Structure formats: C-alpha cells, structure tokens
Amino acid sequence: MWSRRSFLQVGGALGTAAWAAKAAGGLDTVHAAAAAVGDRSPEEVAQDEFYWREIQEAFTLDRTLINLNNGNTCPSPRVVLEACKRYMDMSNMLPVQYRGDIERHLQTVRRGLAKEFGCDEDEIALTRNASESLQIVQTGLDLKPGDEVITTDQDYPRMLTTWDQRMRRDKIKVTRVQFPVPTTADDLYQRFERAITPQTKVLHFCHITNLTGQLFPVQRLSRLARSRGILSVVDGAHALAHFPFKIRDLECDFYGVSLHKWLLAPIGNGLLYVRRENIPKLWPMQAVSERQMASVSKFEAIGTYPTAIRASVAEALAFHQAIGAEHKAARLRYLTLRWANALKGNSRVKVLSSLEPGQTWGLAMVGIDGIDARALSQFMMNRYRIVINAVVGGQPPAQVFDYTGLRVTPNVYTTLQEIDTFVEAMEEAIKKGVPAATPGRGSGN
Ligand SMILES: Cc1ncc(COP(=O)(O)O)c(C=O)c1O
C-alpha cells in the first residue's frame, strides 16, 4: 500500500526506471494514489499536482498537441485500451464461441453502470453512442399529427434534425425555446413552462449543453412534465461521469449518453436509460418479437456488433471509480477556473458559462470581442498546437444562437502548463490579433 511519502518519493528520488515500472501498474497505481490523498477534500486533491501526475501517466497521449477538445471524444486510459485489445483478440480466436461469451458477461457492465449512476440494471441498455440512445426514443415514441415536442435552439444538432424529420414525416409540431447564456435554472424552467400547450407530449432538453455547458434543472423540468402528462427526454451526452449525480434523482423518463466522452470508454459506447413504466410503450430501433417488447434488452437488438468495444466499458468504469466522481469533477472545475479567472478580467473577454459553484466543471466557453472564433481556433492550432473547437451558430434545423467563441474542454490528464499555454495564446490573440480564418473548420461537438 502506498503512503503519501512513498507516493512523493517515486515522483522524485527513485528516478525514471521506478517511475516506468510503477506506471505499468495501471489501475493499482491510481487506487494507491487515491488512497494516499483519501483524507482530503476533493477541492484540496484538485490542486495536488503529484496526485494528478499519476492520472496523467495512465494515458498514452501525444503531448506535442494540447487537447482542449475532449468534449468531442476522449482518449481512453491505457488500461481501457489494453482491455479492449484483449477482448478483441479473444473474440477473434473463435468468434461464434468467444464473442457469445463476452456478450453474456456484459451483464456485469450493465450492473456496474446501474450501480454507479443510480438506476436499476433492467432499465438500461448499452448502445453505440448518445445519438443512438436518443434516436431510439425520438423515433420510437408513438406521436400523432399535431402532437407537440418542445426542445431548445441549443440542443444537439443531430437530435434537432431527428425531431425535424419526424415533423416532416409524421406531421408533429416542434417548438424550440430560446434562452440566453449563461442563465439560471429558474429562467429555463419558466421558459419551458410558458411554452407548454395542451398539445405538448414531450420535453426534450440537455442536462448540460454541448456549447457553453449550460446546466438545466432536470428534476424540476421532469416533474413539471409529469404533472402535465408529458414525457421528459434528457440528453446527458456531456453530463454522465463528468460531474456526480444519480439518474433516478433526475426523475426523467429517458436519458441518453455517450460513454466515449467523460467516462473515457472506447469510441462506440453509449447508454440509454428508460424509466421502467415506459419500456413496453417505446418501439425499439430494430424490430423485435412481441414477447420481447417488455424488456429493456430490445433496445440492444442490433445484430452483430463488436462486443470487445462494449466489454471494455467495465475497465473504464473501474478507472472512473478509482479516481472517484467527486475528485474528477473538482479537478475539471479547477482547470476551468484556472483559465477563466486568468482571462475574465480583460474587458474584451466574454466567458459564456457560469463560474458559480455547482454550475460548470470541464466544459466552458469563451469569446474575444472583435475576433472571429474560427480564426481564433485556427490560430490556436497553427501557433500553439492547441486542439480546440470554434462554436458558431447556424440556421434551423441546426442549432441557432447569437454568440461565438471557443469551447474549452480539458480532461483529467490535462496539465496546468497546458492550461497556462492556452491562457498565453488567448493573451497574445487579444494583444496582436489573429490571421483571418481559412475555410474548412467550423463548430464541433
Ligand atoms: C449534447 C450532445 N448530444 C448528443 C451528442 C451525440 O453524441 P455521439 O456523437 O456520441 O452520438 C453529442 C455529441 O457531441 C452532444 O454533445
């Protein structure tokens, strides 16, 4: 077992050979590091660079680039990638035998996710991403012409396109609520409440948006919906494993997530939560027999798929638990406050995310007055090798909003030096300006 002293020693005196041997320990090392700081608050641990050095070592990154676009997809830690390769090798030995074995063992993954994120294992299905999870709901609900869905202008483009297609195909009505950023939970609640009509059947909104990370009052909106006989569909793509909460406490009807974002699972993993009483009523994406209609497993009926990708969620969950949800959230917030506090005093800088406690963690947005966001993101790459995406509003059926900026999404492996380089780059841009944008780069997700 590691003590705080041995933890510090390996970081310094024992040298690179010991460091490399220790780094090879993977999850053990993360557990030991967590034990060494176990008596301190998440906010204190967030500032302990010796602890976070352990986490940084758990990834095989290209440190010649600074990745501040973890909001798109995140790299998996080494242990997760190795698990995925092992399952892939195993599956390939005799697919009909071993792929089937892995598939049966996936119940461990469902059980683990349900326990960690607070729901029952027979209310969740493993999917390929948040798009699939949410589209199962969006296309699987019985809605008739004239039925209304209320969503927002800042919901995810693919989800907006999906409702738009149902509007064209099934003649449903889609109403989009607008809101300023950052705004309050009360404001968002009131905007939805005012928009509800007798035809409203669904409220669809993000837990936090992919743009500024605006946090929605999910429980209050879900209760409002239920009190009016309306279903609540929540896009949790950026929320789960980013900051701590339990799905059952949200009280929503449906919750869709990508696990290759903040859980750090390999690309191609998602989760769908369906509140128990809604399972029999919701059509699956691919057809199943009538007797399967009552089981949540119908949402996983997609034919042959790579079980190795799915099985390695178990390792990603173990990594997440080894750090701890509270510690992870506190570190992400610490990294965000580091750049935001350094920049916000400049009168040309606009931080478009709330910096109040409990509102923002590792996803926030910033713009500079007079500088085009696309040009700024290209400058970040060309001059500082910072990977970051520009956010620019569009026209329906895409997202519509009137602000622009850079979405800054660090991760648990991000170093303070990397954050400080971003601050330096922003300061240079403010002082000297940036070259005009060249075509080819737009907003990301
Ligand atoms: C808010 C939101 N919803 C849904 C999605 C879709 O996720 P995926 O591409 O993993 O399906 C994203 C992706 O960035 C997102 O940001």
Per-residue pLDDT of the chain (445 residues; tens, 9 = 90+): 344 444 444 443 333 334 444 454 478 888 888 888 878 999 999 999 999 999 999 999 999 999 999 999 999 999 999 999 999 999 999 999 999 999 999 999 999 999 999 999 999 999 999 999 999 999 999 999 999 999 999 999 999 999 999 999 999 999 999 999 999 999 999 999 999 999 999 999 999 999 999 999 999 999 999 999 999 999 999 999 999 999 999 999 999 999 999 999 999 999 999 999 999 999 999 999 999 999 999 999 999 999 999 999 999 999 999 999 999 999 999 999 999 999 999 999 999 999 999 999 999 999 999 999 999 999 999 999 999 999 999 888 889 999 999 999 999 999 999 999 999 999 999 999 999 999 865 444 4
- 55, 413 Cβ separation under 8 angstroms: yes
Q: Is the peptide bond before 280 cis (omega within 30 degrees of 0)?
A: no
- 443, 400 Cβ separation under 8 angstroms: no
Check residue 19 and give its pLDDT: 40
Q: Which residue from 210, 263, 267 has its CB within 8 A of the most atoms of ligand 1, so it is best to mutate?
A: 210
- 228, 200 Cβ separation under 8 angstroms: yes
- CA–CA separation, 30 and 51 (whole Å): 9
Nearest Cα to Cα of residue 235 among 249, 220, 253: 253
Chain centroid to CA 161 = 20
For tokens 């922003």, name the residue.
426
Q: Which residue from 160, 207, 238, 242 has its CB within 8 A of the most atoms of ligand 1, so it is best to mutate?
A: 238
The DSSP call for residue 69 is B
Amino acid in position 141:
L
Q: Which two tokens stand for residue 332?
A: 């992400």
Ligand 1 in reach of 56 Cβ (< 6 A): no
Check residue 440 and give its pLDDT: 67
Q: Which residue from 152, 156, 263 has its CB within 8 A of the most atoms of ligand 1, so it is best to mutate?
A: 156
What's the gap in Å between 205 CA and the centre of ligand 1? 13
What's the gap in Å between 158 CA and the centre of ligand 1? 8
Atom from ligand 1 closest to the CA of residue 258: 10
- CA–CA separation, 234 and 188 (whole Å): 14
Ligand 1 in reach of 445 Cβ (< 6 A): yes
For tokens 């999404």, name the residue.
409
- CA–CA separation, 1 and 9 (whole Å): 14
Q: Which residue from 72, 73, 129 has its CB within 8 A of the most atoms of ligand 1, so it is best to mutate?
A: 129
Check residue 30 and give its pLDDT: 85
What's the gap in Å between 72 CA and the centre of ligand 1? 8
Ligand 1 in reach of 130 Cβ (< 6 A): yes
Nearest CA to ligand 1 atom 14: 445
Check residue 20 and give its pLDDT: 41
Nearest Cα to Cα of residue 126 among 295, 271, 299, 236: 271
Nearest CA to ligand 1 atom 13: 445
Nearest CA to ligand 1 atom 12: 237
Atom from ligand 1 closest to the CA of residue 235: 3
- CA–CA separation, 203 and 223 (whole Å): 11
Q: At what angle do helices 49-57 and 27-36 cross, to 10 degrees?
A: 170
- 65, 385 Cβ separation under 8 angstroms: yes
Beta bridge partners of 368: 349
Nearest Cα to Cα of residue 395 among 171, 208, 150, 157: 157
3-state secondary structure of 108: helix
Ligand 1 in reach of 138 Cβ (< 6 A): no
CB-count exposure of residue 392 (10 Å: 0-12, 13-18, 19+): middle
- CA–CA separation, 226 and 254 (whole Å): 12
Check residue 27 and give its pLDDT: 85
Q: Which two tokens stand for residue 22?
A: 């220790």
What's the gap in Å between 84 CA and the centre of ligand 1? 22
Chain centroid to CA 27 = 22
Atom from ligand 1 closest to the CA of residue 261: 10
